[in-house]
Amino acid sequence: MGSAKTITNGGTFDNYGNLSIGAFSLSVESLINNGILNNYGNLNIVPNALIDLITNNGTITNNGTITRNAGTLNHNVGAFLNGTGTLNYMGGTFTSAGSLYPGNSLGIFNISSGNIIITGTLEIEITGAPSGGAGTTFDQLSVAGTATINGTINVNFGSHMPAPGDMYQIVSAGGYAGSHTLVVTPNTITATYLNGVLTVSSVLPVTWRSFRATPNERNGVDLLWSTASEANNEGFDVERSANGRDWEPIAFVPGAGSTSETQTYQYTDPAYAIASAGAALIYYRLKQIDFDGSFDYSPIRIVEIRNQRDIRVYPNPADEEVTISFAEPTTVRGMVRMYSQQNRLVAEHVLPPQTTDYPLRVAQLPAGTYILQVMVGNEQWSKRVVVE
């Protein structure tokens, strides 16, 4: 190495033996890691000049032992530190401004001497119940001194759905301090963190993404819904009502159990069943049922059943666009107006002759309920439209 004072790693550096940084005999005063440093042996930071001896701007995976006798180990913003090894930070405090990942996927990161201050992120992965143990079903940061977390704790349960009351010792330390931000994925799970312990507060059975009820060309109604995540979801009872008060189940659609991935479902209510309801408005809702029998309801969706000369407006509610559908092509020019609940005109369009389906943009309107008025010749229709 000649008289080099600094080693800069821009690629991959693997240490399987004993490496001392800062030793005068090696004429090396500092190591700057801009790439990947894998330590499987012993990496010692020994006394030397007043200099930052190891600066990590890339990734350090420590599955061996890093011993800091003097100087500092700078773990900078945007850098990554992980592994199942041991960090001996003799007589000092290690400040982590980057991302700290205990283990290699799952494991325990051990600081056997010294303290830690986290101003970056602590990344915790959980794949099972607390009884599985630290390093097996959940990550853990183990600190001999005080663990001060002033950054963010990111907890990811993946596909595992815990039970309310589950407690995980994700940080084991001699003392606890700091003011942290806790982010839990998926967002169906709520939890708290106090003195190293993550406690699951609640688990929502289903996170709804959307639910639409749309008349189809066969005079039936297509129901389409999706979920962002599910926990112990047995399935959905599809329920229909002619008055919005008295409900009857018309179908059961199996759920996906427990998942953090988007799921999409559909069911078509046939025309003869809708006709038997004998109502101008048909109401739909979903009864989500857990494996333990507990249940919850979706929002209600309303479909207008038109007569031979009636118009159809769908989807309703809508967030981007509604379609005005006529039973027959229009023969003359018409007008389309939309009013707010305060009777203020918010949209006006000319309807050309020979129109069968007319798309109407509503994305620019604030969320709320509006009155849609359609006039063609001597005919006039008024419909309620909900914008989400």
Decide which of 337 and 216 is more confident. Answer: 337
Q: How far is CA 137 from CA 102, 156, 158, 196, 299, in A?
A: 12, 12, 12, 16, 36
Q: Which two tokens stand for residue 330?
A: 């229009």
Neighbours of 112 (CB within 10 A): 15
Confidence of residue 70 (pLDDT cuts 50, 70, 90): low
Average pLDDT, the chain: 84
Distance from the first to the final alpha carbon of the chain: 67
Query: What are the structural domains, with CATH classification, of the chain?
Result: 6-203 (no CATH), 204-305 (2.60.40.10), 308-388 (2.60.40.3080)
Decide which of 169 and 2 is more confident. Answer: 169
What pLDDT, on a 0 to 100 scale, did the predictor assign at position 46?
58
The rounded distance, in Å, linking the Cα atoms of 203 and 190 is 7
Report strand pairing: 357-361 vs 368-376.
unpaired
The sign of the CA dihedral 244, 246, 250, 253 is positive
Q: Is pLDDT of 184 > 70?
A: yes
Nearest to 325 by CA among 306, 345, 349: 306
Residue 180 DSSP code = -
Residue 315: is the preceding peptide bond cis (ω within 30°)?
A: yes
Phi, psi of 98 (to 5 degrees): -95, -145
What pLDDT, on a 0 to 100 scale, did the predictor assign at position 358?
93
Residues 6+ apart with CB under 8 A from 78: 57, 98
Cβ–Cβ < 8 Å for 193, 183: no
Residues 6+ apart with CB under 8 A from 194: none
What pLDDT, on a 0 to 100 scale, did the predictor assign at position 26?
46
What pLDDT, on a 0 to 100 scale, did the predictor assign at position 259?
81
Mean pLDDT value across residues 291-303:
89
pLDDT tens digits for 318-332?
889 999 998 888 889
Cβ–Cβ < 8 Å for 200, 162: yes
pLDDT tens digits for 75-123?
888 878 887 777 777 667 788 898 888 877 788 888 888 889 999 999 9
Q: Which two tokens stand for residue 7?
A: 């080693």
Q: Give rounded-to-5 percent helix, strand, coil for the chain.
A: 5, 60, 35
Q: Which two tokens stand for residue 128?
A: 């099972």
Token look-up 């801009």 returns 34
Residue 192 CA to its chain's centroid (Å): 17
Neighbours of 360 (CB within 10 A): 18
Confidence of residue 41 (pLDDT cuts 50, 70, 90): confident
**CA atoms within 13 Å, Cβ hemisphere of 42:** 7
Decide which of 326 and 32 is more confident. Answer: 326
The rounded distance, in Å, linking the Cα atoms of 329 and 306 is 16
The rounded distance, in Å, linking the Cα atoms of 39 and 50 is 24
